[in-house]
Structure 1
Amino acid sequence: MADLSARDVEKVKFAFSIYDFEGNDTMDAFYMGECLRALNLNPTLAVLEKVGILATSTSSSPLVSVRRMMYAELEHILISLGERLEKEELLPVLTECCPPEDDEGFIPYEPFVKKICEGVKP
């Protein structure tokens, strides 16, 4: 980290902390691509595959989750980051804009983002 400024180190630590769900200074490699993208590093799927972060099938095409995230993670991010919200303030937004969770607790986040952006008037 010698090449990083103190500010960059803080950004990395903050991004990492978002994906440290258990609070034990670890992050599942599954989230590494998202964490790197949050730091504006924008690795391609090929780069992630090359460094072993992205699994591949027998046909060598990357297995990518269909742009989904855990509902609980979205709720945590929206309550904790930016202007603080109370859970009671957030629940109507999530109810209106989020598709239902799947059996694993995941939601596709693109429909959520589209609905939120539709409500934004310039």
Structure 2
Amino acid sequence: MASPGAAGSIRLDKLLWYLRFARSRSIAQAIVAAGHIRLDGRRVTRSSCAVHVGQTLVLPVGERIEVIRLLALPARRGPAGEAQACYRKLEPETPPAPISAISGNGKAVAPKGAGAPIE
């Protein structure tokens, strides 16, 4: 019997498996138990945690971190295209690229207006 308020939700481990972020449900449970998943900014360590449409997940995928927003609850573990239609990848905020102090020819450069004028 489903708990009250469980309508429109799915277990986190099942979601990760359905969306193909884990090869098996037991692997999904291990990822969650290790504390590698964040749900709306808070760390989750219980694989039975209920996930709803509209929530944001931060999870490791290989060597990178993915930030996704859940658009729909999957009904099954279907093909990859069906799974990808249930979420949208969000772009993480990236800091501006640092300005290099070395030019392409290996010589040091100073920003315009810095220091004494060069004659």
TM-score w.r.t. structure 1 length? 0.28
Return the structure number with greater strand share: 2
Return the structure number with greater helix share: 1
Larger RCO (CA under 8 A, 6+ residues apart): 2
TM-score w.r.t. structure 2 length? 0.28
